[in-house]
């Protein structure tokens, strides 16, 4: 049914406006936006605080949420962290993955996320055997997002090798990686093509990395995405070891390898892009390849600080993701991108609060194939979220500074409401579909064992 929301303050086209009525049609689209509305119209749902477009979490591995806390013990590197990740991956079934992802996506909704990009490579049963329904694990994720009330772009990921071998040969998948591999790029494409999208779900493709997808297979994955107009994502230069191995095998950087095989360009998003040469940055910018930064994971894994500022200047649109879910907080990701750049350069003010909010909303949605989302305007999807301006973190600043307050002071805990397709998913800080999200998370993680 059509309804009206009244935002005490709303972020419209980069400006905080007081008293905004947002009319939603029965189709889940915004039918009208009226400013200067001093009080809620009769029957309108009041949204007290600052209402923003829904946030897009452009890079997620839902099952990594089970590692929170566990991987904080002791020291190590990305590669030792990966061994713990494999252990949890080996225990998941379609049912347990659905339960975990449902809770994780509900946690995202509580943090203002209305759309998630799930970088999905956990395709098969332990040992690599196929489920009777070949896409059972992916369907579990799509169902989980629907249950949690958010949208999803399932980025079906090709993962075919364990890494570079001798010369230009690649090593076959190791035991823990057998669940990830379809064997060949053609077999991956055949399985990925069998999935049918639903109203809240869209499909995309992903190349896990240049170490996990042989060079000759890269055009197959890229071609699959281009033919369908689907988003294409790829982990890029997250680790210096990957760069070194790629140079030995192919005589160039991972970015150069992707460029030579037709992967870069509009519609492609490189994830992390932490360790790039100046030539890599030019290749990404000149081709209009987007970049997804995941600052909380990059710092948690001690990966490094990527050249976000240089990428932005070169022409790459930037979006944000929570990746391994050390925390799920897109406001923190936005803040961290700016603060990391301050640490790297020892200067302040690389992005405005408005630019950072766009990275967390409109640009993230565009990277996930939802260009009609991420804006509060007529004709856009009625997906928005409200940040409290009266919490201990946000009280004090003038409301007209709400964008700056949201980015540089608020956290996911300050999200008061989340609306998707015009439907209240989070009201007054409580999830309406998943009654007790902490309990659901506890139960889902416990089911995977110690």
Active site residues: 272, 323
3-state secondary structure the chain: CCEEEEEEEEEECCEEEEEEEEEECCCCEEEEEECCCCCCCCCCEEEEEEEEECEEEEEECHHHHHHCCHHHCCCCCHHHHHHHHHHHHCCCCHHHHHHHHHHHHHHHHHCCEEEEEEEECCCCCHHHCCCCCCCHHHHHHHHHHHHHCCEEEEEEEECCCCEECCCCCEECCCHHHCCCCCCCHHHHHHHHHCCCCECCEEEEEEECCCCCCCHHHHHHHHHHHHHHCCCEEEEECCCHHHHHHHHHHHCCCHHHHHHHCCCCCCCEEEEECCCCCHHHHHHHHHCCCEEEECHHHHHHCCCCCCCHHHHHHHCCCEEECCECCCCCCHHHHHHHHHHHHHHHHCCCCCCCHHHHHHHHCHHHHHHCCCCCCCCCCCCCECCEEEECCCCCCCCCCCHHHHHHHHHHCCCHHHEEEEEECCEEEEECCEECCCCCHHHHHHHHHHCCCC
CA distances, 370 to each of 57, 270, 317, 331 (Å)? 12, 17, 15, 20
């Amino acid at each position: 049914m059509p309804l009206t929301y009244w935002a005490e303050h709303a972020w419209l086209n980069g400006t905080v406006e007081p008293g905004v009525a947002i009319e939603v049609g029965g189709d889940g689209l915004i039918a009208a936006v009226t400013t200067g509305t001093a009080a809620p119209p009769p029957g309108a749902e009041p949204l007290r605080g600052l209402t923003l477009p829904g946030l897009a979490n452009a890079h997620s591995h839902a099952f990594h949420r089970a590692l929170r806390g566990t991987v904080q013990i002791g020291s190590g590197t990305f590669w030792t962290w990966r061994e713990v990740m494999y252990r949890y991956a080996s225990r998941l079934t379609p049912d347990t993955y659905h339960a975990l992802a449902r809770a994780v996506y509900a946690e995202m909704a509580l943090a203002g996320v209305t759309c998630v990009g799930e970088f999905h490579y956990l395709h098969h049963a332990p040992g690599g055997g196929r489920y009777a329904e070949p896409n059972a694990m992916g369907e579990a994720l799509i169902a989980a997002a629907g249950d949690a009330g958010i949208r999803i772009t399932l980025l079906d990921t090709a993962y075919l090798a364990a890494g570079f071998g001798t010369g230009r040969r690649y090593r076959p998948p190791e035991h823990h990686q057998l669940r990830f591999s379809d064997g060949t790029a053609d077999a991956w494409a055949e399985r990925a093509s069998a999935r049918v999208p639903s109203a809240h779900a869209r499909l995309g493709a992903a190349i896990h990395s240049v170490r996990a997808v042989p060079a000759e297979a890269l055009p197959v994955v890229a071609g699959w995405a281009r033919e369908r107009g689907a988003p294409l994502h790829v982990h890029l230069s997250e680790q210096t070891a990957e760069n070194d191995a790629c140079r030995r095998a192919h005589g160039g950087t991972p970015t150069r390898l992707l460029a030579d095989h037709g992967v870069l360009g509009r519609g492609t998003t490189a994830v992390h892009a932490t360790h790039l040469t100046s030539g890599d940055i030019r290749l990404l910018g000149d081709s209009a390849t987007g970049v997804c930064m995941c600052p909380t994971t990059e710092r948690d894994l001690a990966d490094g600080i990527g050249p976000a500022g240089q990428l932005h200047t070169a022409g790459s649109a930037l979006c944000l993701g929570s990746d391994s879910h050390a925390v799920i907080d897109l406001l923190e990701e936005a803040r961290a991108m700016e603060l990391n750049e301050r640490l790297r350069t020892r200067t302040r003010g690389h992005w405005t609060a408005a630019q950072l909010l766009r990275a967390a909303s409109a640009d993230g949605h565009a990277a996930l194939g939802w260009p009609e989302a991420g804006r509060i305007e007529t004709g856009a999807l009625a997906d928005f979220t409200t940040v409290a301006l009266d919490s201990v973190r946000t009280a004090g600043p003038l409301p007209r500074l709400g964008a700056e307050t949201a980015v540089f002071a608020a956290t996911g805990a300050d999200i008061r409401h989340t609306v998707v397709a015009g439907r209240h998913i989070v009201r007054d800080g409580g999830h309406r579909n998943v009654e007790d999200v902490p309990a659901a998370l506890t139960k889902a993680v416990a089911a995977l064992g110690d």
